[in-house]
Chain A
Amino acid sequence: MRPAENIEKLVKNINIDTNAKIDEEVLGEVVKAFEKSKSKKTSAIEQNIWRIIMKSRMTKLAAAAVIIVAVILGLTITGGPDMASVTWAEVIEKVEQIPALSFDMTTEISYTENEKLSLQSVNYVAGDYGTKSSIYMNGELFVLKYRLPNKKLAYQIRPKDKTYFRFDLSDELAAKVKEQDPDDPRTWLKMILSGDYTELGRDNINGVAVEGIESSNPEIVGSNERVMRLWVDVETNLPVRIEVEGEGMEGGQMRPHKFVMENFQWNVELDESVFEPNIPEDYKRLMER
Chain B
Amino acid sequence: MLEDKLLIWRFKRGSSDALCRIYKKYKDNLLRLASALLNDTSAAEDIVHDFFVSFAQSPEKLKLNGSLKSYLATCVVNRVRNTNKTRQRQETAGLNEAESAVSNSKRPEQWIIGNEQLRQLNDALAQLPEQQREVIILHLQGGMKFKAIAELQGVSINTVQSRYRYGLDKLRSILDSEAKL
Where the two chains meet, the residues of A that have a C-beta atom closer than 8 Å to any C-beta of B are 1-2, 4, 7-8, 10-12, 14-19, 21-23, 26-27, 29-31, 33-38, 111, 115, 138, 251
Contact = CB atoms under 8 A, between A and B. Distances in A.
Given A37-B56, A37-B57, A111-B60, A23 B171 contact: no
B172 A21 contact: no
B100 interface: no
Interface string B19-54: 110011001100110011000000000000100110
- B contacts with A: majority SS: helix
Given A1-B176, A4-B172, A23-B27, A34 B19 contact: yes
Given A30-B23, A31-B16, A19 B117 contact: no
Given A2-B176, A14-B117, A23-B27, A34 B112 contact: no
Nearest to A115: B12
B64 interface: no
16 contacts: A7-B172, A11-B136, A14-B117, A14-B121, A15-B118, A16-B35, A16-B113, A19-B110, A19-B112, A19-B113, A26-B52, A29-B49, A30-B53, A30-B56, A33-B56, A37-B59
Nearest to B51: A30
B123 to A, nearest CB: 13
B157 interface: no
Interface of B: 12-14, 16, 19-20, 23-24, 27-28, 31-32, 35-36, 49, 52-53, 55-60, 109-113, 115, 117-118, 121, 125, 136-137, 140-141, 168-169, 171-172, 175-176
Nearest to A11: B140
A21 B140 contact: no
A226 B2 CA distance: 39
Contacts of B32: 14-16
Nearest to B29: A16
Contacts of B14: 38, 138
Contacts of A21: 109
Given A14-B121, A30-B53, A19 B19 contact: no
Contact of A17 (B12, B35, B112, B136): B112
Given A31-B16, A38-B14, A14 B57 contact: no
Nearest to A26: B49
A8 B168 contact: yes
A29 B115 contact: no
Contact of B140 (A8, A16, A30, A115): A8
Contacts, number: 103
B174 to A, nearest CB: 10
Grouping DSSP codes into helix (H, G, I), strand (E, B) and loop, the A interface class, with mixed when no group exceeds half, is helix
5 closest A-B pairs by beta carbon, nearest first, are A34-B56, A11-B140, A37-B57, A22-B111, A12-B140
Nearest to B57: A37
Given A8-B168, A14-B115, A14-B118, 10 more contacts: A10-B121, A12-B141, A14-B121, A16-B31, A16-B115, A23-B111, A30-B19, A31-B19, A31-B20, A33-B53
Contacts of B59: 34, 37
Contacts of B35: 16
Nearest to A29: B53
B140 A18 contact: no
A255 B49 CA distance: 32
Given A27-B20, A31-B19, A34-B16, A7 B171 contact: yes
B109 A19 contact: yes
A2 B16 contact: no
Contact of B175 (A7, A18, A19, A115): A7
Nearest to A22: B111
Given A7-B172, A12-B141, A37-B58, A18 B53 contact: no
Contacts of B28: 16, 18
A216 B177 CA distance: 79
A137 to B, nearest CB: 9
Contacts of A35: 16
B115 A15 contact: yes
Contacts of A36: 57
Contacts of B12: 115
Nearest to B13: A115
Nearest to A27: B23
A30 B48 CA distance: 11
Most B CB contacts (10 A, CB to CB) among A11, A29, A111 go to A11
